[in-house]
Amino acid sequence: MMKLKGFWYTGGYCLSSKACTVLSKKENFFSFSCLKANAEGNCGKSFLCVSHAERKKHRFFEPVKWTKLYIEDRALGMMERRQIVRLWQQGGAAVLITLVRAEGSSYRRPGAHLLLGSRGEYAGTISGGCLEVEVLRKAIWLVREGAVVERYSTMFDDTAEVPFGLGCGGVVDLLLEPGDTPECRALMAAMEGSLAGDDVTVLTWLPHKGRSLARAVLAANGDFTFGSEGLTAPELVEARARALGQGGIENMLGEMFVERIAAPQRLFILGAGDDAKPLVRMGVLLGWSVTVMDGREQLARVERFPEAERVAVVPSVCTDVLGIRPEDAVVLMTHSYEQDRGLLAAVLPLRPRYLGLLGARHRSSLLVSEVAAKLGRTVAACCEQIYAPVGLDLGGDGPEAIALAVIAEVQACCMGKLGTSRRLSAEDVERHVGEGGVSRYLQAQCALDVA
């Protein structure tokens, strides 16, 4: 009899179909096989479960089967990472929980973390609220003998007395590990370092078939900064090659979870007007590193932007501006035509991932035309790098609505999810330039784009 532990199974059918049949009965446990037919025949899945009556007497887990390397390559839950690191820095971390695999619908993706403190406090989430209470209640007991992987279902079951969730419709595998091990400390140190700008890759050999959890941490240059005792040189070399894309991950031997922990998204807001305040707050809420710059000393003050990581008074061309990197996001919103022109000419050659220009289409077209001529570039080439008018077309009015539209476009762009946008084309620029000169914009304020 297979050892099973942990949760109310959804019962009576396999996860891929409700068309199942009982094959055998062993000590009140039934084995079901999926009868769902497709072009290739039956799916062939088989799961141990119990009848609805017997299920109420037993709590158990499906056996966890790991067949490939799982990679999470996104910077997920940046604000949660900050909260987790803050809790860890306070000392007394008890259990670290990591979502390492998800099937079906899941509120969180692999790479989500939840840290339980020694006094019962916690930071982070691994679901939409379906699992946290149950997992946290048993976490310390589950890791009494070391790290374990446990499987939970959030499939809706209206016959269960106390279903785990609200019917999210998925299955997740969670890695639970004690907080006082070298492996856990190495992962937490990697998270802490990422907040300072370090990109790291964490390789975790999951506990499986008698093997304890092991871990290695790769710096951005490919050097190992940590490796568990017992890991051999050949294992580390092959794992590094696979994790860095030098081999086919589908053929990787062993049970491993690879997590690339990226530094927070950096957002540079060039312009310290009042309308920059909600943009700063929203960026910080996402866990981003937000810097505010402006050439006007009376506006670029720390007390005006207490949430920002940095507030600086800068001219249009300076070391701070030239320090913008290709992976950064930049929003140009000084409301000063002269400042915008100088800053746009300085930032455009740096090719940031996102460069948004606040202002009406006509004003932006004139700026692009002048800067293109100054840099010796075509207007079309400049338009390909600039998001103008800035922000998604979400509707609404006022600083908060504009900030929401801008932050949504930055998020979508940086995550590679941006579909359509309102960006200017070379034809748009030519048409607007033909409508008149820049004299109307040579003043402190500019009109916002309402088109």
* pLDDT score for 45: 36
* pLDDT grade for 417, boundaries at 50, 70 and 90: confident
- Residue 20's Cβ-side half-sphere holds a number of Cα atoms within 13 Å equal to 25
Decide if 356 contacts 406 (C-beta within 8 A).
yes
User: Given CA atoms 379, 381, 383, 386 in this order, what sign does their dihedral have?
Assistant: negative
Domain ranges of the chain: 1-62, 70-261, 266-441
> Residue 46 pLDDT more than 80?
no
Residue range 328-381, pLDDT digits in tens:
999 999 999 999 999 999 999 999 999 999 999 999 999 999 999 999 999 999
Decide if 347 contacts 368 (C-beta within 8 A).
no
Decide if 71 contacts 256 (C-beta within 8 A).
no
What are 285's two structure tokens? 């809420």
Dist CA 338 CA 445 (whole Å): 11
User: Which has more pLDDT, 192 or 18?
Assistant: 192
Q: Which of 153-167, 168-182, 333-347, 410-424 has the lowest mean pLDDT?
A: 153-167
Q: What percentage of the chain carries pLDDT values higher than 90?
A: 50
Decide if 333 contacts 387 (C-beta within 8 A).
no
306 upstream amide cis, omega within 30 of 0: no
Q: Kindly state which CATH superfamily the domain 266-441 is placed in.
A: NAD(P)-binding Rossmann-like Domain (3.40.50.720)
* pLDDT score for 441: 63
Decide if 231 contacts 299 (C-beta within 8 A).
no
Nearest to 261 by CA among 205, 219, 226, 221: 219
> Residue 198 pLDDT more than 70?
yes
